[in-house]
Amino acid sequence: MSELINNSSQRKEMLKHMILELHRGVAPEQVRARLVELLSRIPYDEVVEVEQELIAEGLPVEEVLRLCDVHTAVLDGHIDLSGAKDVPPGHPVDVFRQENRALEKVASEIRDMLAGSTSLKQEDLPNWLIGLHGKLNALMDVDKHYLRKEYLLFPYMEAHGITGPPKVMWGKHDETRALLKAAIDAVSNHDKLTLDELQAVIDFGVKPAVQAVLDMIMKEEEILLPMCMDTLTGEEWYLVHVQTPEYGFCLIDPEDDWQPEGVEASEISYGGGSSVRLPTGSFSIDELAALFTTLPIDLTFVDKDDKVKFFSHGPKRIFARNRAILGRDVRMCHPPGSVHIVDKIINDFKSGRENSAAFWINFKDRFVYIEYFAMRGEKGEYLGTVEFTQDLTELRKLEGDQRLLNYKK
């Protein structure tokens, strides 16, 4: 190891040379061996700088994107994170990492399912596919994780002059989304897929999608996020933090809140004193929040683009909800076997054929009534769907009148 290069500029030039060798067709194994021999471990910030310089020197973003996974495979295990900053609980980077742990858990569960697929019988395949479909739907929640990077993180990177790597990573996001969508489409024919077709679906659909998600986690945690911790200011991170709920969380609902050091909580409130004015009156934000937690119903709102935008959170919610569903396609929030019902309701509401739908079920010894209503604007345009869920167990027992004051205990 006497040849080991410790000078930063020399290291970057050598890494640049090795990446260009990959683009000329040199075998990744050969490049990786040379990297280990000469460089051992590369600081994360130098990897970003080299990619940025290559693009600035004329290497097309599309070409970097084409071999991005090869770069990752060669560098995996050789990124030096010893200089990375600590991340406080609740910080946006901490949230990204928590989401990555949740994504890894789902990916591991999918891989466990795939490992047992060789012993499946044809009669067991439909239920197995429904289970796999549900896991892939959960993995598709990574879309919110990527959206927050694209619309909250990348603009600040670009403002600091880091323009090339975000373009490459956004391209990888789109590739991963396409792979996941293709995998979901492939397993959605629960009753039609045969065992003979299954292996091709696994090898060419499911496995590449899962691997793409895991590869992106490596790129984030070993390169992107440490570099962003060095680059973004506390104020910029705070702006990322307060806008995060608009996009929703991926698979988790973070327990820790965060605020920059030196900033009082009163300075970063969510607008508790602001007023919401409506045609028949107004509320402060605090009053409106209290209204939704006081009403004896559970409310969930899905916007015109089929994304979950809001849910009430009372003390006795019937069906569990957490902020991980915010920004998620409503179809992904239901078991695969009931998605066709969700689709029909939404399509009927959008077309104007129907304006409401009702269901009632017995759930955990309670009689639960569920209603869906199409929300429309003044001109009749579709604005979204609202779901009301009520526990009518006690109301169904009422008889006669109650005209005297009698507080319920």
Q: What is the dihedral of CA 337, 343, 344, 348, to 10 degrees?
A: 170
Q: How confident is the model at residue 247 (pLDDT cuts 50, 70, 90)?
A: confident
Mean pLDDT for the chain overall:
85
**Helix, strand or coil, per DSSP, at residue 366:** strand
Q: What b/e string do you get for 309-338 counting C-beta neighbours within 10 Å, with b at 16 or more?
A: bebbeeeeebeebebbbbbbbbbbbeebee
Digit-coded pLDDT (tens) for 352-375: 999 999 999 999 899 999 999 999
Residue 117, pLDDT > 50, answer yes
Q: Are 291 and 283 in contact (CB under 8 A)?
A: yes
Sign of CA dihedral 137, 138, 139, 145: positive
- 332: confidence class by pLDDT, cuts 50, 70, 90: confident
The model's confidence at residue 68, banded by pLDDT at 50, 70 and 90, is low
Average pLDDT (378-394) is: 95
Q: Which residues contact 286 (CB under 8 A, 6 or more apart)?
A: 272, 273
**Lowest mean pLDDT segment, chosen from 149-158, 179-188, 234-243, 260-269:** 260-269
DSSP 3-state percent helix, strand, coil across the chain (nearest 5): 55, 15, 30
pTM: 0.73
> Is there a contact between 335 and 133 (Cβ–Cβ < 8 Å)?
no
d(CA 372, CA 405): 33
- Average pLDDT of span 130-137: 96
pLDDT at residue 38 tops 60: no
At residue 362, what are phi and psi to the nearest 5 degrees? -95, 120
